[in-house]
Amino acid sequence: MRTYWNSTVTIKRRKIARRRLSTHQNVSSIGKPIKTSKTGKKRANSSIKKVSIKKLEKKLQKYLYPLIKQRDGNRCISCEKTITEKRNHHAGHYAKAELCNLVWRYAEKNINTQCGSCNLWKRGNTLSYRRGMIKKYGEEYVKYLDSHYNEPLPLEFNPRLYLESLIYHYERCDSLDRT
C-alpha cells in the first residue's frame, strides 16, 4: 500500500516533469516534442546557420589587407617613411572604417599602407593621410570620397551577399591595380 509520503513524492515528480516539458520542450500538434533552447527559442539548424557579418568582415580583411600592402609596398601614405618591420606594416583607412558604410569600408582606395605609428598612435594621421591621398589618387577623388563615405546604402543592399562576393573576388585575386 502506498503511503502518503510516497504519493506526495510521485505528485512532485510529475509536476517537475511537466514543468520541464513546458519550459524546454513544446509539444507539437501531433504530440512530438519540438526542440527549443532554454530560452524557448527554436534551435537553428546548424547546417543552415549563417556566418555572422563580423566573421565575414574578418575573412574579407584576411584576403584584402595583404593585397593592399602588396600594392603599396612599404611606404607609409601619411608620413612617407619606409616601414622596416612587418608588425609596423598596417592597412589603414583614410575615412575611418567604423564611420564608413560597408561599400566604402572595403573600397581599395580608402585603405592604404600606413606605419603603425601613424595608424595607431597618431589616430590615422588624418591631415597627412589626406595629403598622401591627393598625391596618389587626385583631389577630385578625395573630395568625392569625403562626401560619400558614410552615405546610407539603398534598402535593397544586402551586406551578407556583398561581403561574400568580395571574399570570393579577393580570395582569387593575385594583385590590385595601383591606381
Least distance from Zn ion to the Cβ atom of residue 137, Å = 18
Angle 53-72/159-171 helices, nearest 10 degrees?
40
Please say which residue, 92 or 104, places its beta carbon nearer to Zn ion. 92
3-state class (DSSP) for residue 77: coil
Q: Tell me the closest approach of the beta carbon of residue 131 to Zn ion, in angstroms.
A: 12
Query: What distances in angstroms separate CA 13 from CA 17, 19, 87, 102, one per listed residue?
Result: 6, 10, 62, 55
3-class DSSP string for 135-159:
HHHCHHHHHHHHHHCCCCCCCCCCH
Instruction: Please say which residue, 80 or 151, places its beta carbon nearer to Zn ion.
Output: 80
**Nearest distance in Å: CB 115, Zn ion:** 3
Q: Which is nearer to Zn ion, 61 or 113 (CB)?
A: 113
Q: Residue 64 Cβ, how far from Zn ion at the closest point, in Å?
A: 20
Q: Is residue 25 classed as helix, strand or coil in its secondary structure?
A: strand
- Residue number with CB closer to Zn ion (91 or 118): 118
Give the helix/strand (H/E) hosting 93: strand 89-93
* Distance (Å, whole) CA 130 – CA 94: 7
Site of interaction with Zn ion (CB under 5 A): 76, 78-79, 115, 118
Residue 118 CB, nearest approach to Zn ion (Å): 3
Between residues 68 and 76, which has the closer beta carbon with respect to Zn ion?
A: 76
State the Cα–Cα distance between residues 46 and 29, nearest whole angstrom.
24
